Amino acid sequence: MTTTRQDPNAIRALQGLEDDRSSVRLRAALAVGTTPDPGFVDKLIERCALEPEFYVRDMLTWALTRHPAPVTLPVLLREVRSRHSQARSQALHTLSKIGDRQAWPAITRALLSDADDEVARSAWRAAVVLVPQGEESALAVVLATQLGRGGRQTQLSLSRALVALGEESVAALHAATMASDPRMRTHALATERLLREPDTGFEFAVEEAKRVVALGGSGQEGR
């Protein structure tokens, strides 16, 4: 096989990843993913940590998933420990897309409670994909500690993760509905509603939960 160093097309694609124009970077990432080569992986990972455009980052992730997991996993597992938040977030996002459960030990409690909301959201999504059978309840307990944090998008991401765990989230959510923090109670009640009634909109569930909390309830009355 022609190596990345010798292939002019590969060299142009890798150079294109650093172009000032996002459209050129997008095409370059597509080209790299279309003709995967282990020599591309380090550059793709490096670019993920720097790329400002969402659609280009998504294409970079796709390009990484086109490479063999034994090649990409070691580099991604290193990146989740990076001091740069975007590097951590993108590595976690890519691990969730690859779906190889060998990566599960890298999904630490520190990542699940990362101070950066984008990193935490990526960690929640990855955790739900990678969690081994039998560890879902323990994961739900850790995720429940994050209820009430952040804005609407962050809260929606966490609710989706807990709902994806299904019945394994019930006990953790029940405990959170009786927390002293009203934001945590509200978020827990809204997530319980989504778990029971998946067609309920998140905003509606939150507003209903706010009314319950404002009245001093936990949502457990009359159950």
Residue 216: per-residue pLDDT: 76
- Phi and psi at residue 150, in whole multiples of 5°? 75, -170
Q: From CA 129, how far away is CA 32, in angstroms rounded? A: 26
Percent of the chain with pLDDT over 90: 85
Q: Is residue 178 part of a domain?
A: yes
Q: Is residue 165 part of a domain?
A: yes
Q: Is residue 141 part of a domain?
A: yes
Residue 218: per-residue pLDDT: 52
- The pLDDT mean for the chain works out to 92
The interaxial angle of helices 69-79 and 54-65, nearest 10 deg, is 140
Residue 7: per-residue pLDDT: 67
* Tens-place pLDDT, residues 40-64: 999 999 999 999 999 999 999 999 9
Instruction: Report yes or no: 163 and 131 within 8 Å, Cβ to Cβ.
Output: no
Residue 200: per-residue pLDDT: 87
pLDDT at 38 over 50: yes
pLDDT at 93 over 60: yes
Q: Is residue 135 part of a domain?
A: yes
Q: How confident is the model at residue 223 (pLDDT cuts 50, 70, 90)?
A: very low
Q: Is residue 193 part of a domain?
A: yes
Q: How confident is the model at residue 2 (pLDDT cuts 50, 70, 90)?
A: very low
Instruction: Report yes or no: 94 and 126 within 8 Å, Cβ to Cβ.
Output: no
Widest CA span of the chain, in angstroms?
A: 71
pLDDT at 87 over 50: yes
Q: How confident is the model at residue 217 (pLDDT cuts 50, 70, 90)?
A: low
The interaxial angle of helices 117-130 and 136-144, nearest 10 deg, is 160
Query: The tokens of 91 are what?
Result: 């590595």
Q: Is residue 200 part of a domain?
A: yes
Q: Is residue 111 part of a domain?
A: no
Q: pTM of the entire structure? A: 0.89
Residue 1: per-residue pLDDT: 34
Handedness of CA 85, 87, 93, 96 (dihedral sign): negative
* Tens-place pLDDT, residues 98-140: 999 999 999 999 999 999 999 999 999 999 999 999 999 999 9
Q: How confident is the model at residue 220 (pLDDT cuts 50, 70, 90)?
A: low
Query: The tokens of 113 are what?
Result: 């409670």
Domain count, the chain: 1
Q: From CA 51, how far away is CA 49, in angstroms rounded? A: 6
Instruction: Report yes or no: 159 and 151 within 8 Å, Cβ to Cβ.
Output: no
Range of the domain at 163: 131-218
Q: From CA 144, how far away is CA 112, in angstroms rounded? A: 10
pLDDT at 27 over 50: yes
Q: From CA 175, how far away is CA 218, in angstroms rounded? A: 10
* Tens-place pLDDT, residues 135-183: 999 999 999 999 999 999 999 999 999 999 999 999 999 999 999 999 9
Q: Is residue 13 part of a domain?
A: no
